């Protein structure tokens, strides 16, 4: 089978992560990078070679995602990375009820995603911009949409439902779940690290980063998750509030005179760690400041408390727990947060070995822990490349 060169595009609310993979008998990363600060006065473009060495770092003016993508393709062409590209794979946050696996990008798919944009207004418009930009800048390459929600296609119906009138559920108001590409990758890595027995057991995966969620799985399939209709629900996040009494939203609308757009900005961009601390959305910065800043300490404590509470709830949904996996920027790198989330959970069989935890060892649980606690680095981009490569095989 001939090698394929695949560009992956992961569009966030203010950033675009990209990579180029050569997919054949092996999977080889050729290029990775990110454009951050999109929409701000000054954006930053960074690119790294196959060894992780920085080969480009420059400021640029990217007032929106279209401008950022134009700059990306100008750079790819200038450095000949656009030559030989066979396809582009996109992380698409929401596939609704109809898209439960990777899909070739067609005019019909784009039309469906436009309708779904009301479900994920913070994400889908940017992802559509990325798809359309590549159609303009590289019309010869095929494109594949890889859905974050697809991992939850087999989640039990009861776990999907909100206690709302049936007609609203029929319109699509239900729990979907997100971070699915990350959890797919972790599931595959867990099978390699722990064998089939680990995957078939009762597993909770905690993707803790700027966005944060937990998912319970058995036999590699989702049983329940913390995020719901949108990625704003569940755990406390960097700038998102997580779960919230709907009465709070009603109060803001009725008594504070806020518009729906104001409320959206509040719960998605001004809440979470940034809101409760009043200092920063960055966990590392809050950990550095929590000794002298009581609000920083309280923000960290709330993050860990809510994570611990959801961990217990998901273990109940599973009927117990065999394996706990930490991933994401915070989950992979902060031994302090991992320790504080697991503190006091000995009754569940979770016991952390402090030295293994500080060293970020693959297994950080103690020998006396009945639950295996692991740290696995996620790779959504590689998962996108795999899905895209597999989709190309069946493309006619």
Strands 142-147 and 85-92: parallel
203/328 same-domain check? yes
Unique residue bearing structure tokens 């990078």:
33
Residue 348 confidence (pLDDT) above 80: yes
Compute how many other C-beta atoms are within 10 angstroms of the C-beta atom of residue 171. 10
- Whether 39 is in a domain gets the answer yes
- Whether 147 is in a domain gets the answer yes
pLDDT of residue 1: 57
Q: How many residues does the chain have?
A: 396
- Domain final residue pick, 153, 183, 216: 153
Q: pLDDT grade, residue 396 (50/70/90)?
A: low
- Whether 167 is in a domain gets the answer no
203/147 same-domain check? no
111/233 same-domain check? no
Q: Which of 29-38, 190-199, 219-228 is predicted with the least confidence, judged by mean pLDDT?
A: 190-199
Q: pLDDT grade, residue 204 (50/70/90)?
A: very high
pLDDT of residue 4: 93
Q: Which domain holds residue 80?
A: 4-153
- Find, among 387, 393, 394, the residue nearest to 144 by Cα: 387
Compute how many other C-beta atoms are within 10 angstroms of the C-beta atom of residue 6. 28
228/336 same-domain check? yes
Q: List residues with catalytic annotation.
A: 148
pLDDT of residue 16: 93
210/325 same-domain check? yes
pLDDT of residue 14: 79
228/280 same-domain check? yes
Q: Which of 120-134, 144-158, 306-320 is predicted with the least confidence, judged by mean pLDDT?
A: 120-134
Residue 13 confidence (pLDDT) above 80: no
148/201 same-domain check? no
What mean pLDDT, rounded, does the chain reach? Answer: 94
109/209 same-domain check? no
133/223 same-domain check? no
125/228 same-domain check? no
- Domain final residue pick, 153, 171, 186: 153
368/264 same-domain check? yes
- Whether 263 is in a domain gets the answer yes
pLDDT of residue 64: 87
CA distance 150 to 95: 7
8/94 same-domain check? yes
- Whether 230 is in a domain gets the answer yes
- Residue 202 sits in a domain of what CATH number? 3.30.420.40
Higher pLDDT among residues 11 and 331, named by residue: 331
- Whether 382 is in a domain gets the answer no
| Average pLDDT for 142-168 | 97
Compute how many other C-beta atoms are within 10 angstroms of the C-beta atom of residue 78. 10
Per the structure, how many domains does the chain have? 2
- Whether 270 is in a domain gets the answer yes
- Whether 220 is in a domain gets the answer yes
Q: pLDDT grade, residue 11 (50/70/90)?
A: confident
CA distance 205 to 375: 10
Let me know: does 273 contact 236? Beta carbons within 8 Å: yes
């Amino acid at each position: 089978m001939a090698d394929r060169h695949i560009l992956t595009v992961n569009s966030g609310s203010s950033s675009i992560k990209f990579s180029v993979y050569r997919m054949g008998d092996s999977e080889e990363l050729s290029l990775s990078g990110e454009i951050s600060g999109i929409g701000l006065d000054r954006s930053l473009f960074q690119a790294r070679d196959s060894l992780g060495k920085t080969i480009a770092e420059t400021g640029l003016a990217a007032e929106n995602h279209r401008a950022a993508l134009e700059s990306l393709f100008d750079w790819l062409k200038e450095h000949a990375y656009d030559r030989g590209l066979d396809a582009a794979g996109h992380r698409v946050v929401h596939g609704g009820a109809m898209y439960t696996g990777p899909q070739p990008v067609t005019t019909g798919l784009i039309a469906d995603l436009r309708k779904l944009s009301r479900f994920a207004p913070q994400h889908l418009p940017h992802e559509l911009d990325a798809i359309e930009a590549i159609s303009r800048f590289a019309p010869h390459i095929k494109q594949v949409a890889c859905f974050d929600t697809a991992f939850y296609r087999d989640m039990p119906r009861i776990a999907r439902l909100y206690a709302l009138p049936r007609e609203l559920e029929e319109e699509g108001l239900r729990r979907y779940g997100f971070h699915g590409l990350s959890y797919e990758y972790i599931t595959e890595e867990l099978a390699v690290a722990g064998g089939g027995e680990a995957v078939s057991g009762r597993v909770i995966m905690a993707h803790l980063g700027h966005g944060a969620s937990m998912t319970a799985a058995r036999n590699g399939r989702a049983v329940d998750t913390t995020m719901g209709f949108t990625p704003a629900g569940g755990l406390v996040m960097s700038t998102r509030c997580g779960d919230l009494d709907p009465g709070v939203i009603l109060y803001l609308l009725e008594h504070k005179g806020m518009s729906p757009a104001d409320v959206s900005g509040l719960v998605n961009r001004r809440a979470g760690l940034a809101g409760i601390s009043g200092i920063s959305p960055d966990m590392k910065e809050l950990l550095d400041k929590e000794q002298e800043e009581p609000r920083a300490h309280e923000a960290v404590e709330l993050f860990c408390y809510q994570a611990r509470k959801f961990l217990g709830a998901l273990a109940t949904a599973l009927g117990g727990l065999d394996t706990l996996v930490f991933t994401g920027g915070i989950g992979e790198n902060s031994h302090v947060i991992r320790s504080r989330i697991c503190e006091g959970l000995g009754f569940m069989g979770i016991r952390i070995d402090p030295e293994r935890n500080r060293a970020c060892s693959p297994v950080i649980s103690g020998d006396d822990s009945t639950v295996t606690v692991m740290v696995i680095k996620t790779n959504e981009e590689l998962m996108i490349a795999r899905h895209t490569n597999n989709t190309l095989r069946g493309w006619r």
